Amino acid sequence: MATDTQLDLWEVFIQSKSGLPYIHSGSVHASDVKMAMQNARDIYTRRGEGTSIWVVPAKHISASNPDDNDMLFDPSNDKIYRHPTFYVMPEGAKNI
Amino acid sequence: MTTKDATYNYAIRLGDNALILGHRLSELCSKGPILEEDLALTNVALDMIGRAQALLKYAAELEGKGHTEDDIAYRRAEINYHNHLLIEQPNGDFAHTIARQLYLSVFEYLFFTELEKSKDATLAAIASKTIKEVKYHMQHAIDWSLRLGDGTAESHKRMQKGLNDLWMYTGELFEMDVLDTYLLHQHIAVDTIALKAKWQSEIEKILREATLTLPEDTYMQTGSKKGIHTENLGHILSEMQYLQRAYPDAKW
Amino acid sequence: MHNEHSDTHFQSRIDNGEHIEAKDYMPEGYRKHLIRQMSQHAHSEVIGMQPEGNWITRAPSLRAKQILLAKIQDEGGHGLYLYSAVETLGVSRAELIEQLQTGKAKYSSIFNYPALNWADIGAIGWLVDGAAIVNQVSLQRTSYGPYSRAMVRICKEESFHQRQGYEIMTTMMRGTKDQQAMAQDAMNRWWWPALMMFGPHDSDSPRSGDAVKWKIKRETNDELRQKFIDKTIPQAELIGLTIPDKNFKLDEKTGHYTLSPINWEEFHRVVAGHGPCNKQRLDHHIKYHQEGAWVREAAEAYKVKTAKKELVTA
């Protein structure tokens, strides 16, 4: 083989407690999914950080383009009616 | 022979296996084929040293002379060490490591599954913690056996060589001596003879999938139960015990 | 409309305290500085496994053996986090390793010193990790997102490293005469190299300016070094270790310690490759990297084979 391989790049997501969201922890290199899973376990859950692991080949993750940020994210700024604080409740209303 | 004495010796044997394998695996730290694998093997080494600590601590308790697990690990000579010969063999290439891990982890999985039923509550508790660790070691060894066996021509050749070179030390895993039999009758020890067929068929199944073959039958080396080792153990101990022996009054 | 691809806009984001992510616009100099600094940091973690690895098999208790193994493993992990952070900038780990092995990339010179007695393990944890932590805590606020996230994780994990080192030093200083002598010997050998870890004085550090402006570095070499000195000297005195410097004193006015001048000649000599272990460390890395090549190739080949099999059975 001409060039050295360091195997494929995978992204690791860990759930720290059941019911909580999976959060990106970092990356590992691995040639197959079993290895990626074991490496993720060996590297990112050494201190009891996890109850569940997702591994995803990095090449299958798409990231939004920062140049599109205006288009993607600004339009939601003025949609304040999506937030509960937008609404006026009568004085004395409870549990709402 | 009292049950207590016999159990002391039994705990020593199991503790030594864990300690010496931990030693061999920790020698590989910073030498892994890829950073991730370096960390994976270190995890196995840590499991082993943790297991050794638990077993040798129990042995020290049974001995009742006020010794610690460290006294037992660091102040015994070769002849009083009882780890399997397979475990003390020097590290070779990565295939050699995986072959050793495969033979041992499959054996240990079967062994500790039985030991969990031991009448000795401490051994049973250590066994049930150990099974969880060993399951993972076994998966790791199996996965790598498949990758190496069915990878490239070179990896196949190396893996087969690793398996062949270590084969003569596998017979010892299943030996039963007077002590084992004595404790077996008291439902404390494991009947290792009964594990042999299952072990061999498991190994054979894995090797077949990995396009590898079970090594040919050969004369099986033996001796560790009597404290007769290969030349390798002396070197391990002289390294491991260096500080404790050179500064006997020091506390670390 | 502002130009999102301008250096002015970039600098204003930095000045606003924003983090920069992999796909964001960044000046070429920023990118280059990051790659150099992060990869150097990653290589340091990985090469740093060697001097401590030298003592695993001789650790004097089972507890010490476990701690040391776990610590070295952490260092490998930290190298891995940092390599991953560099990879976000489009440089592969294979390239980074090649740069290390050809001498194009550097690692911290501290690891070119040998670990000679057991107290060295204490000194490495206490002084070397101690110095590294001062730097790393500061880097948690670095402007590049992936670097900052890696540093947050690293700092969390490293908090035990320095304590375990100081614990070893304390135990040995309370131990036998031999142990005390070993501890002082380790102190004598590691003190100055640890101070050099922060790099040249600010007045002699040409790249510092940009790095601080871009908030890659949040504090200068001298600021960080002084922090380390001020917190470490009282720790040494507490357990009876002598600072190997006849001229050190506490400046009552500033509350800072002052020391003799650092021997920068030694620093530059070791950086240039003439430390006691430069060749040994790099040779070790190359040897095991090469010995692992067939394993990595096998894993790749197996992946291709199984993918084909799955196609056939699908």
Residues of C in contact with A7 (CB under 8 A): 296, 299-300
Residues of C in contact with A43 (CB under 8 A): 77, 80
Residues of C in contact with A67 (CB under 8 A): 4
Q: Which of C4, C80, C93 lies nearest to residue A43, judging by beta carbons? A: C80
Arithmetic mean of pLDDT, B173-185: 98
Phi and psi at C253, nearest 5°, equal: -70, -45
Question: Residue B147 carries which side chain, given as an amino acid letter?
Answer: R
Query: Which domains are assigned to chain C?
Result: 7-276 (1.20.1260.10)
Q: Which residues of B91-121 are buried (b: 16+ CB within 10 A; e: fewer)?
A: eebbbbbbbbbbbbbbbbbbbbbebbebebe
Residues of B in contact with C288 (CB under 8 A): 30-33
Decide if pLDDT at B1 tops 50.
yes
Which is nearest to C46 in space by CA: C80, C5, C16, C3? C80
Selected residue of A35, A47, A53 to mutate for chain B interface (largest B Cβ count, 10 A): A35
Question: What was the pLDDT predicted at C2?
Answer: 56
Q: A42 touching B, CB under 8 A?
A: yes
- Is this prediction's pTM over 0.90? yes
Q: Give the separation between CA B108 and CA B135, rounded to whole angstroms.
A: 9
Q: Which of B26, B247, B250 lies nearest to residue C69, judging by beta carbons? A: B26
Q: Give the separation between CA B45 and CA B28, rounded to whole angstroms.
A: 9
Q: Give the separation between CA A56 and CA A62, rounded to whole angstroms.
A: 11
In tens, the pLDDT along A25-46 reads 999 999 999 999 999 999 999 9
| Residue A1 pLDDT class (50, 70, 90 cuts) | very low
Q: C306 touching A, CB under 8 A?
A: yes
Distance from C106 to chain B by nearest Cα, in Å? 18
Question: What was the pLDDT predicted at C1?
Answer: 46
Q: Who contacts B120 (Cβ-Cβ below 8 Å, separation ≥6)?
A: B7, B188
Decide if pLDDT at C149 tops 90.
yes
Which is nearest to C219 in space by CA: C312, C99, C138? C138
Decide if pLDDT at C314 tops 70.
no
Q: Which of B34, B39, B43 lies nearest to residue A7, judging by beta carbons? A: B34
Torsion of CA A77, A81, A84, A86, to 10 degrees: 100
Decide if pLDDT at B237 tops 90.
yes
| Residue C5 pLDDT class (50, 70, 90 cuts) | confident
Question: What was the pLDDT predicted at A2?
Answer: 44
User: Are B158 and C294 an interchain contact pair (Cβ–Cβ within 8 Å)?
Assistant: yes
Residues A63/A72, Cβ–Cβ less than 8 Å: no
Phi and psi at A59, nearest 5°, equal: -65, -20
With a pLDDT cut of 70, the percent of chain C lying above it is 98
Residues C241/C184, Cβ–Cβ less than 8 Å: yes
Question: What was the pLDDT predicted at C271?
Answer: 94
Which is nearest to B37 in space by CA: C291, C43, C58, A57? C291
Question: Residue B204 carries which side chain, given as an amino acid letter?
Answer: E
User: Are C73 and B43 an interchain contact pair (Cβ–Cβ within 8 Å)?
Assistant: yes
Residue B198 CB neighbour total at 10 angstroms: 12
| Residue C28 pLDDT class (50, 70, 90 cuts) | very high
Query: Which domains are assigned to chain B?
Result: 3-246 (1.20.1260.10)
Distances (CA, A) of C114 to B30, C161, C241, C272, C302: 16, 19, 20, 17, 40
- Helix B94-115 × helix B121-149 angle, to 10°: 150
Arithmetic mean of pLDDT, B16-42: 97
Q: Which of A4, A29, A63 lies nearest to residue C293, judging by beta carbons? A: A4
In tens, the pLDDT along B195-225 reads 999 999 999 999 999 999 999 999 999 999 9
Q: Which helix (H) or strand (E) holds B181?
A: helix B178-185
Q: Give the separation between CA B117 and CA B128, rounded to whole angstroms.
A: 9
| Residue C310 pLDDT class (50, 70, 90 cuts) | confident
Question: What was the pLDDT predicted at C207?
Answer: 65
User: How much is the mean pLDDT over chain C?
Assistant: 94
In tens, the pLDDT along C285-299 reads 999 999 999 999 999
Question: What was the pLDDT predicted at B238?
Answer: 97
Q: Who contacts C238 (Cβ-Cβ below 8 Å, separation ≥6)?
A: none
Arithmetic mean of pLDDT, C219-225: 93
Nearest Cα residue in chain C from B23: C57
Least confident of A75-89, C246-260, C290-304: A75-89
Which is nearest to C199 in space by CA: C97, C100, C126, C270? C270
Q: Give the separation between CA C26 and CA C147, rounded to whole angstroms.
A: 14
With a pLDDT cut of 90, the percent of chain C lying above it is 89
Arithmetic mean of pLDDT, C2-12: 84
Which is nearest to C130 in space by CA: C90, C92, C161, C152? C161
Q: A7 touching B, CB under 8 A?
A: yes
Q: Which of A6, A32, A39 lies nearest to residue B40, judging by beta carbons? A: A39
With a pLDDT cut of 70, the percent of chain B lying above it is 100
Decide if pLDDT at B57 tops 90.
yes
User: Are C297 and B39 an interchain contact pair (Cβ–Cβ within 8 Å)?
Assistant: no
Six token digits for residue C69? 């193994």
CB pairs under 8 A between B and C: 136
Six token digits for residue C125? 């944890």
| Residue B145 pLDDT class (50, 70, 90 cuts) | very high
Residues of A in contact with B39 (CB under 8 A): 39, 42-43
| Residue C159 pLDDT class (50, 70, 90 cuts) | confident
Which is nearest to C40 in space by CA: C131, C90, C138, C110? C110
Strand partners, A23: A14
Question: What was the pLDDT predicted at C4?
Answer: 73
Residues B75/B241, Cβ–Cβ less than 8 Å: yes
In tens, the pLDDT along C81-112 reads 999 999 999 999 999 999 999 999 999 999 99
Q: Give the separation between CA C50 and CA C59, rounded to whole angstroms.
A: 15
| Residue B94 pLDDT class (50, 70, 90 cuts) | very high
Nearest Cα residue in chain C from B98: C295
Distances (CA, A) of C45 to B2, B134, B148, C20, C41: 52, 29, 29, 24, 6
B touches which chains (3+ CB pairs under 8 A)?
A: A, C
- Under DSSP, is residue A53 helix (H, G, I), strand (E, B) or coil? strand
Q: C153 touching A, CB under 8 A?
A: yes
| Residue A62 pLDDT class (50, 70, 90 cuts) | very high
Which is nearest to C258 in space by CA: C266, C246, C249, C267? C249
The larger pLDDT score, comparing residue C189 to residue C156, is at C189
Question: What was the pLDDT predicted at C235?
Answer: 97
Q: Give the separation between CA C23 and CA B65, rounded to whole angstroms.
A: 65
Distance from A53 to chain B by nearest Cα, in Å? 15
Q: Which of A6, A7, A42 lies nearest to residue B40, judging by beta carbons? A: A42
Write out chain C in H/E/C secondary structure.
CCCCCCHHHHHHHHHCCCCECCCCCCCHHHHHHHHHHHHHHHHHHHHCHHHHHCCHHHCCCHHHHHHHHHHHHHHHHHHHHHHHHHHCCCCCHHHHHHHHHCCCCCCCHHHHCCCCCHHHHHHHHHHHHHHHHHHHHHHCCCCEHHHHHHHHHHHHHHHHHHHHHHHHHHHHHCCCHHHHHHHHHHHHHHHHHHHHCCCCCHHHCCCHHHHHHCCCCCCCHHHHHHHHHHHHHHHHHHCCCCCCCCCCEEECCCCEEECCCCCHHHHHHHHHHHCCCHHHHHHHHHHHHHHCHHHHHHHHHHHHHHHHHHHHHC
Decide if pLDDT at B150 tops 60.
yes
